[in-house]
Structure 1
Amino acid sequence: MSGQILHLLRHAAVERPGLYLGRTDEPCTEGGRAACLARVADCEFERIVSSPLVRASEVANGIAAARALAVEEDAAWMELDFGAWEGRTAADIDEANLRPFYDDPDAHPPPGGERWTALARRVAGAIARLDARATLVVTHSGPMRAALAGLCGFDRRQVWAFDLPYAALLSLRIHPGAPAIAQIVGLRT
């Protein structure tokens, strides 16, 4: 079956897990980088795109060096901006504020943060800019979920049904059209 292959790799484990890290540039662990490199060892792609945040770009640069490829950074693949929640744990945030965010992140974005639809638009634009080459994107769980919503038609609640831990690899086959649609052809966690 034809169609463009898009692999979405969640960045490596970070030094301080369990925090809302949207735009916060948190370093990743050496073990996390190794897990990401191992995850894509048998994955075929001709292009690497990365979020510019260090937890993604360090992984992308390691993969690129091993394959003699260049990394293209694209800020559209950055995580959702969590505003006032940046660097905090879920336990630090009042449940009365957190639950509405998960139920409807457009109506209840984090204070000073980004709405789900803004993330979805960024990711849709980034996907539209890709060419036909098989591509690996090193990104974050939010953009991966936005890609599932946009390409597969999942609603916001359905995209949370996917477990996307650090180093998760989601592979999609994109079929062109208006709008483009995709099939999930692999999920490795």
Structure 2
Amino acid sequence: MEVYLIRHTTPHFEKGLIYGQLDLNLADSFPEEFELIKQKLPGKFDKVYSSPSKRCTQLAHFLNPSFETDSRLMELNFGEWEGKTWDTVDQDQLQIWMDDFVNILVPGGESMLQMSERVKEFWQEMSLLSVEKIAIVTHAGVIRIILGIVRKLELNTLFEIKVEYGELVVVRL
């Protein structure tokens, strides 16, 4: 099975915004970014999954209008920090989280460990399917966790994996 992990294209937001699960619109550059993605894709997918976030479903729709959404593919829940900027959240709380983002919950949100559990559950279910090609349209955090599972990496090293907007990574199972 080939799994195409596709990060959503550039969202429309102000620099520094914390937007984990905020439902942002895509930037006006979506058509151009989609064309670049499309050039790297096989003709057809047996299944297309998407995070329910608008920035993912818009891309998933173009891949296959009958895509399925799964909330386990959502980005990290930043709780009380959603919609704020990094420089406006409590800097002491931010430092505590940054020192151990794997285990520390964002106030009102989730930890990387909690996020990884939901992503692992999805990945295990999906890997049991008997299909040839799957597309998963999701977020950088989810892609990092899946790559961490495949490469057997520790959660605290996943931010070393760079995943750009519109980036596509193929995993063969």
Which TM-score band applies after superposition, normalised by the shorter structure? 0.7 to 0.9
Give 1:111's match in structure 2, choosing from 107, 113, 116: 107
How does the TM-score come out when normalised to structure 1?
Answer: 0.79
Kindly indicate whether the alpha-carbon contact (under 8 Å) linking 2:3 and 2:172 is maintained by their aligned counterparts in 1.
Answer: yes
Q: Does 1:12 find its partner at 2:9?
A: yes
Aligned pairs (5 A) from 1:33-182: 33-44=31-42, 45-64=45-64, 70-130=66-126, 131=129, 132-174=131-173
* CA positional deviation for 1:108: 2.0
Q: Which moved more, 1:136-145 or 1:42-51?
A: 42-51
* Correspondence for 1:183: none
Please give the alpha-carbon distance, in whole angstroms, between the structure 2 residues aligned to 1:34 and 1:122.
Answer: 32
CA deviations over 1:54-87 (Å, ceiling 9, x no partner): 010011112225xxxx211111101111001101
Change (3 A) 1:133 1:25: same
Aligned Cα RMSD in Å?
Answer: 1.9
Kindly indicate whether the alpha-carbon contact (under 8 Å) linking 1:11 and 1:36 is maintained by their aligned counterparts in 2.
Answer: no
* CA positional deviation for 1:17: 4.4
Higher relative contact order (CA 8 A, sep 6+): 2
How does the TM-score come out when normalised to structure 2?
Answer: 0.86
Please give the alpha-carbon distance, in whole angstroms, between the structure 2 residues aligned to 1:25 and 1:50.
Answer: 14
Kindly indicate whether the alpha-carbon contact (under 8 Å) linking 2:24 and 2:55 is maintained by their aligned counterparts in 1.
Answer: yes
Which letter does structure 2 place at the counterpart of 1:16? F
Please give the alpha-carbon distance, in whole angstroms, between the structure 1 residues aligned to 2:110 and 2:60.
Answer: 25
* CA positional deviation for 1:37: 4.0
Aligned residues, how many? 167
Please give the alpha-carbon distance, in whole angstroms, between the structure 1 residues aligned to 2:48 and 2:153.
Answer: 25
Taking only the aligned residue pairs, the percentage that are identical comes to 25
- Please list every run of 5 or more consecutive structure 1 residues that lacks an aligned counterpart in the other structure: 175-189
* Correspondence for 2:24: 26
SS of the residue 2:162 aligns to: coil
Kindly indicate whether the alpha-carbon contact (under 8 Å) linking 2:24 and 2:54 is maintained by their aligned counterparts in 1.
Answer: yes
Kindly indicate whether the alpha-carbon contact (under 8 Å) linking 1:47 and 1:136 is maintained by their aligned counterparts in 2.
Answer: yes
Please give the alpha-carbon distance, in whole angstroms, between the structure 1 residues aligned to 2:31 and 2:20.
Answer: 19
Q: By percentage of residues, which structure has more strand?
A: 1
- Please list every run of 5 or more consecutive structure 2 residues that lacks an aligned counterpart in the other structure: none
Q: Which moved more, 1:96-105 or 1:127-136?
A: 96-105
Which letter does structure 2 place at the counterpart of 1:12? T
Moved over 3 A (4+): none
Which letter does structure 2 place at the counterpart of 1:26? L
Please give the alpha-carbon distance, in whole angstroms, between the structure 2 residues aligned to 1:40 and 1:99.
Answer: 40
Which letter does structure 1 place at the counterpart of 2:5? L
